[in-house]
Structure 1
């Protein structure tokens, strides 16, 4: 069997394993039994189980993608830019990073990062990927690339042929692709939800065009699929462990990379899968992507350490999952569906993802809120909500440290702190160091997400999971903005509106929030890191 599972130090309540066995969950899941998660989930689950068939059904894509890649290469188009969010971008990013194949992933509204992606246009093909076809970020990217190709002298027909589209049948993007004369349109299986779509057209099309052997990826998944009905198969055992962790008070899943053959960036993909699938109804599993298995947060008392491509760690409640990437994708999807059964939730809905999107739409229509900082310290402007800075003397010489200490003190028992950076994850990459820097100061779980990327990942957990989160949001001054063609706003305004919309969603839930606006991004990040020590 290609996937291997090992567990150490985790107490598995007998009733968890017994119930799953008595209810024949593994066989019923492979048979796509939509009743597994209860009558309220049956309608949604009945149209969300197509991912179990993908190792076989996606095989039809392989030869056509190889031909399309050769056709593009023959025209000198060897640079692939993927415009997509969440499930449309996370899997292909992991696939290409693991294979060592270059792929430019554009899943941001930061104007600097968007502008950076629009280079080498003479050899660029753009994959526009959206399940719904109405994702504001992806549509903005498409418009920007159409304008950029036009500006370098391509005519309307030539511009259209620089685009490959992946979407669901009947989506607005399918109509747009036809109207613009896109070179190719791939209609994905509508019975596969975005976070379960790694082995569908959403995962395979960009990866194959970038140069990955996606047929081998499907082979790896198919090898595991043959064993999924067996008692004790590794995917089932992983699901048991995730559910057992929740039942025994370990509702955080700390994801770290082991020392085996690396699946690069896998934690970011698994983060979306677990958070969106389980974070609802006031419960859920919070994934925490670690820098290493020994990083701050790996030993938290309410966390189960999950080592990808490595063995569990002796002396800690932990699991180890090893195997090739295709098997990892299918195995973790299967395990998450099983864990949903143990948690008593519907793993296929995402009922809380629209609040911040609606807030953003209102702000884009009415204008950005006029928010005055409570204090400006060096390159950092401080704002807050949820009472987090009540009584804090921001005029003190160490005002920023006092503010950060107050935020950490606001984390409740079994709570977590989420760092959210609405910045350029290329130029402002040092912001990613904030997770470990904050985690060294607390025993609570600390997560990190680039905005608005995390809105399509952990955002569902933040809004629908247990309301024990405390939030640190970073935004930054925009040195050079970029217009969104034929829209009354720029990328900088869109990014600011998304950040403000999420602040409003958290304020509506009365969650403590510290907002740090960096008037100079590089200096501000360094200042915050220095303050954290």
Structure 2
């Protein structure tokens, strides 16, 4: 590790003698955080205890959960048993002309495979939504060339179970033996394992049960779908193995300790971790890190809010950066100007670069270290279940939909108690929501329960930065129900500083869920309703805007991206 002259600066790297394969730098407040916390982390032997799977690092309250959640530290060794079966299965499928891989999974079951396949340039259809239009698109692909990977630790996740049922029925309707095209990834003894074995699935891969979902990138959950899509997952494990020993060392040059201290050790805490990819070459790594950070730290009224942003994001502009923002740039190893954004105006606080396998392991170690600094258990997610329970309640009772407070230009407007008093237009309602935003510590979460692969993605592409410019505060953008397995935990368990804008729409497709008394339209509506209700019950301001067609969505996007009325 080296420290720069003048302003505090720290650089740490890991890798074999021939060169670093992971590098972390910290400047300013982040470097001061490293200097403040490294001595304590070293004295506590945090790195070696973590690598040695010591469950006492996070206190007695976390001990029971941590004792069954630390096997991820050695996955670069233990996951190698998957390699030969995966090579054999991919070869079998190729001889049958099956080369379209669809992944049905949520959260940790889908984010890492998407990153691995995308970084490798492989095609993987990721179905991590209950939106009927997105489900229909996946079902309408070439089923004769399709294999479906159903990934769920428990097998009872409603989204994944519904997707599984839909594909089994579609294969059968197409005259294809459904079990021969289905692969399951799950924990031993789960409901999915039993169902897959009873049905005679093509393959069932057991994941390590002592690894939580968001730490599962190098388990079967990350490797199976990516390998079947053509990614070299052996190389991924090799990349992680090349740095694992460095992350286990109790010394000041450990990049995982440096990153963990930089993330969680600033004083006052810079709890908005704004992540921008600056040419790292790692496909959507920020989206994967978003879940890891938010679910691991956002609880007990504290935590770190990851904010994935685009180049030139308002949150990172010189002179506009708030004191609670910690910029993190994902850079290539060869980048000599990582501390400057596209305009040349931004001095960053943290940069991270390196191989994908190394990056997975780095961030996992760093977030575990951050949990110890924050004094929370990074392995539970107590508030994720709240939204699931509320959605189940909606499905079981099928309540009469709440009428809108009013409708403006085809947009139905609803809000939490007291939010819409006096409002008669969408602009009024938005102004009321933003009026609740704390100008010093607050954030706005845009939650779009829409088809993230359809026209909505293009129509809403400018909404996040526009709202960030308008408010001068960090803005997150999440596709529902995907974000419920990510930032949804932070929304409910983290600091009560958020205001929430929920966008919903009327799907164009109707897709049944075989064996269920509800369809995908009903399911995603229940998930949106349940999420909004839980937030409102916690006293969070929630504005709900529902559109019935693309024209009203385009009009709404104009209101959201335009200047205040």
TM-score by length of 2: 0.90
SS at match of 2:247: coil
Secondary structure of the equivalent of 2:29?
coil
Cα distance per residue 1:60-98 (max 9 Å; x no partner): 111211111010011011000000000000000011111
* Structure 1: gaps spanning 5 or more residues: none
Q: Report what 1:83 is aligned to.
A: 104
The aligned counterpart of 1:509 is 538
SS at match of 2:352: strand
> 2:196 matched to which residue of 1?
177
Q: SS in structure 2 opposite 1:161?
A: helix
Residue 258 (structure 1) aligned with residue 258 (structure 2): no
The 10-residue stretch of structure 1 (456-465 or 371-380) with the greater mean CA deviation from structure 2: 371-380
Preserved contact between residue 4 and residue 321 of structure 1 (Cα < 8 Å): yes
Query: Post-superposition, which runs of at least 4 consecutive aligned residues in structure 1 deviate over 6 A?
Result: none
Asked if the contact 2:156/2:192 (under 8 Å) is kept, the reply is yes
How many Å apart are 1:526 and its aligned residue? 4.2
CA distance in 1, matches of 2:242, 2:183: 30
What is the CA-CA distance between 1:531 and the residue it aligns to? 4.4
Q: CA deviation at 1:309?
A: 2.0
Shift of the 51–150 alpha-carbon distance from structure 1 to 2, 3 Å rule, reads same
Given candidates 36, 46, 49, the residue that maps to 2:67 is 46
RMSD over aligned Cα, in angstroms?
1.4
Cα displacement (A) at 1:32: 1.0
Within 2, Cα distance between the matches of 1:214 and 1:290? Answer: 28
Q: 2:4 maps to which residue?
A: none
2:3 alignment partner in structure 1: none
User: Which among 412, 415, 430 is matched to residue 404 of structure 1?
Assistant: 430
Q: Which of these residues, 375, 389, 392, is aligned with residue 406 of structure 2?
A: 375
Displacement of 1:182 after TM fit? Answer: 0.4
After TM superposition, the structure 1 = structure 2 runs for residues 278-317 of structure 1, keeping only pairs within 5 Å, are: 278-292=297-311, 294-298=312-316, 299-310=321-332, 311-313=338-340, 316-317=347-348
Residues 522 and 235 of structure 1: CA distance in aligned 2, closer, same or farther (over 3 Å): farther
**Would you say 1:69 and 2:98 are equivalent positions?**
no
1:132 shift after superposition: 1.3
Deviation of 1:521 after TM superposition, in Å, equals 3.2
Shift of 1:528: 2.5
* Residue of structure 1 equivalent to 2:514: 485
Q: What SS does structure 1 have at the residue aligned with 2:115?
A: helix
- The reply to whether residue 429 of structure 1 matches residue 457 of structure 2 is yes
After TM superposition, the structure 1 stretch with the greater mean CA deviation from structure 2, 162-171 or 12-21, is: 12-21
Say if 2:207 and 2:219, in contact at 8 Å, map to a contact too.
Answer: yes
- Distance in 2 between residues matched to 1:422 and 1:309, nearest whole Å: 31
Q: How far, CA to CA, are the matches of 1:432 and 1:132 in structure 2?
A: 34
Q: Is the 1:356–1:498 Cα contact (8 Å) retained in structure 2?
A: yes
**TM-score normalised to the size of structure 1?**
0.95
Cα distance change on mapping 1:520 and 1:290 into 2, 3 Å: same
* Greater alpha carbon shift after TM alignment, 193-202 vs 513-522: 513-522
Among 366, 374, 378, the residue aligned to 2:397:
366
- 5+ residue gaps, structure 2, are 1-14, 16-20, 333-337
SS in 2 for 1:10: helix
**SS state at 1:441 partner:** helix
Shift of 1:388: 2.2
The superposition leaves residues 469-508 of structure 1 with CA deviations (integer Å, 9 ceiling, x where unpaired) of 1100000012231111110001000010100011110111
The SS at the match of 2:149 is strand
| Residue equivalent to 1:389 | 420
Q: Hey, what does 2:441 align to over in structure 1?
A: 414
Residue 356 (structure 1) aligned to one of 365, 371, 387: 387
Between the aligned partners of 1:410 and 1:525, the Cα distance in structure 2 is 25
